[in-house]
Structure 1
Amino acid sequence: MRVKIENEVLFIHREDVPKYNKQGSIVRNSYFWALRSIAGRANSRYDWEFESEVWLALQRMLISFAESGYLPTQETQLEFASETEEIPKVLRLVSTIIS
């Protein structure tokens, strides 16, 4: 998931957020609701926002869903742009840098 950090807020690109589908997978829908439950803003018209206070919970959630084996890596990994100064320590286990 493409992300950026501005003013201690992590933004997940709105096109990369998991989609809720009433007829969809239970795991994917649970993932959607879990992410939404800790987001400061979760609206399909905007990037989803996660304040720094929830980054540890976000990290644990991403690791848990990644370990389930039901979701591909690109849906459970935070992708920072190469010009990112530094990935916060609490998010390093679930992050990568893309070019």
Structure 2
Amino acid sequence: MANGASELNWDDIRAKAIAGQRPPEWPTDVRAISIEGLSLFGLDSRYQLHFDGKRLLIEKRLDLTWWQTLLAAMASVSALIIAAIEVLRFCGYGAS
């Protein structure tokens, strides 16, 4: 490589990607990433995260309780009713 830098051995980095120890409170199937394993993370031109060339899917789910869902539905219906009333008023219906 240019400037005297040595070529990385990606197979060696992949073999050492997992650290030997992990915090005991973590789930048993979760393992720590080693310092060498950090080299496998990358960003594309849109700053989306990749690990070993594969894009990572990061989700943020919104889980509402039943009453929050009910309130959201009631608010939506109310907004639609008010919008319909305002359209009818604009069209001249219900004018005094």
Q: Which of the five TM-score ranges fits, normalised by the shorter chain?
A: under 0.3
Larger RCO (alpha carbons 8 Å, 6+ apart): 1
Q: Highest CA radius of gyration, 1 or 2?
A: 2
Q: Return the structure number with greater strand share.
A: 1
